[in-house]
């Protein structure tokens, strides 16, 4: 249950970053959820191959899941911020009457 609450909080956070970058927020929220579960399963499987202890597998899966969130966040943070086009249009020759 706590994992779902954390995931809701993190997807809202990613959605805010996506809007600031001018990207569709829903798409990046979906990427976050997919990365979360994908990294969680991969982390748990890798841990199972190494340790074969249920508690360690779950713990390593949760750490890997947070790594999936950080992966999506790093990709999104590298994108440029949304430009305000109106500020670039001020003072151009097209604004002057002919």
- Tell me the average pLDDT across 10-33: 95
Q: Could you give the CA distance from residue 20 to residue 9 in angstroms, rounded to a whole number?
A: 17
82 pLDDT tier (thresholds 50, 70, 90): confident
Q: Could you give the CA distance from residue 77 to residue 11 in angstroms, rounded to a whole number?
A: 14
DSSP 94: G
Quick one: which H or E segment has residue 10? Answer: helix 2-21
- Residue 48 CB contacts under 8 Å (≥ 6 apart), including other chains: 57
* pTM, to two decimals: 0.80
DSSP 78: T
Q: Where are the domains of the chain?
A: 2-78
């Amino acid at each position: 249950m706590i994992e779902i609450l954390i995931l809701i909080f993190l997807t809202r956070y990613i959605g805010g970053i996506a809007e600031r970058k001018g990207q569709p927020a829903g798409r990046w929220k979906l990427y976050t959820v997919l990365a979360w579960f994908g990294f969680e399963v991969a982390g748990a499987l890798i841990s199972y191959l190494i340790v074969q202890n249920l508690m360690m597998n779950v713990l390593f899966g949760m750490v890997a899941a947070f790594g999936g969130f950080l992966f999506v966040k790093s990709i999104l943070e590298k994108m440029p911020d949304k430009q305000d086009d109106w500020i670039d249009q001020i003072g151009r020759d097209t604004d002057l009457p002919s």
